[in-house]
Chain A
């Protein structure tokens, strides 16, 4: 009764999309108004932390290959570390903008994990294509928290960070366990 991977990805996409919308709303209203209600300020670090816990659960169940086990563990670890650090920032325990570098590292290593654990080329299947796309997107998106650490207060970093989650959601929604990409499907993937 374990759901197919694509279903877990679509549910994750929904959480990611909601998070992206909330972060976009933060950019629109400004951080001061957004933090008027404390729960909103805690939301994204909390989601990252809880997401990390769920990713550990997925790491436990997705034992069909060592690469997947390691990749899911890297995502779980990255999400929990980034979430934990940002919770401390929101709480006021950490104040330096350089803590954004932890989020940058989390995004970067998550992206690398996507790229490394995909064994096939870009056009092998939709899943392979999305692994490459998501991997490179996260690697590039790591620049936004780097910007927030080095040049804090600029809206471009928070906008880019928020849009990263929206784009990630779109890519996760596009995922299918076995489906063609641009007409390519080289006949070796199991058909459902």
Chain B
């Protein structure tokens, strides 16, 4: 009987550790999406600097300044980092502490 209890406690501990690691991995995954997007935009800007109107202003109009693709990619990454990722991380944390805490 006591060995059964010990085994079930060990199983529960292992399961909890695994689920904690999975949650940690998910949090890291969400946190990486924004920076990776920004990195893609920066790499693109370095590879094709002429697509940034601020650096090559000759003959550029209003809309060329509004939509500069590499900067748009960076902007999307920033929007994700500041408006989407924090809420998701918070909810992942709450899920971890909620039922077990």
A interface list, Cβ under 8 A from B: 1, 3-4, 7, 10-11, 13-14, 17-18, 21-22, 24-25, 28-30, 32-34, 36-37, 40, 173
Contact = CB atoms under 8 A, between A and B. Distances in A.
Contact of B84 (A11, A17, A21, A32): A21
In this complex, which of B62, B64, B75, B76 has the most chain A Cβ atoms within 10 angstroms of its Cβ?
B76
A10 B29 CA distance: 26
Contact of A17 (B73, B91, B92): B73
Given A22-B84, A25-B33, A173-B73, A30 B26 contact: yes
Contacts, number: 69
A28 B29 contact: yes
B67 A34 contact: no
Contacts of B72: 10-11, 13-14, 173
Given A25-B33, A29-B26, A33-B91, A18 B79 contact: yes
Contacts of A4: 63
Nearest to B34: A21
B84 A3 contact: no
Given A14-B72, A14-B76, A29 B91 contact: yes
Q: In the A-B complex, list the 10 residue pairs whose CB atoms are closest, starting with the nearest.
A: A3-B63, A28-B29, A14-B72, A36-B91, A7-B67, A10-B67, A7-B63, A17-B76, A18-B76, A21-B80
Interface string B81-92: 000110110011
A173 B88 contact: no
Contact of A25 (B69, B76, B85, B95): B85
Contacts of A21: 33-34, 37, 76, 80, 84
A7 B33 CA distance: 25
Nearest to A39: B87
Nearest to B37: A21
Given A21-B34, A21-B76, A25-B80, 14 more contacts: A7-B64, A11-B66, A13-B69, A14-B72, A21-B80, A25-B30, A25-B33, A25-B85, A28-B26, A28-B29, A29-B26, A29-B30, A33-B95, A36-B91
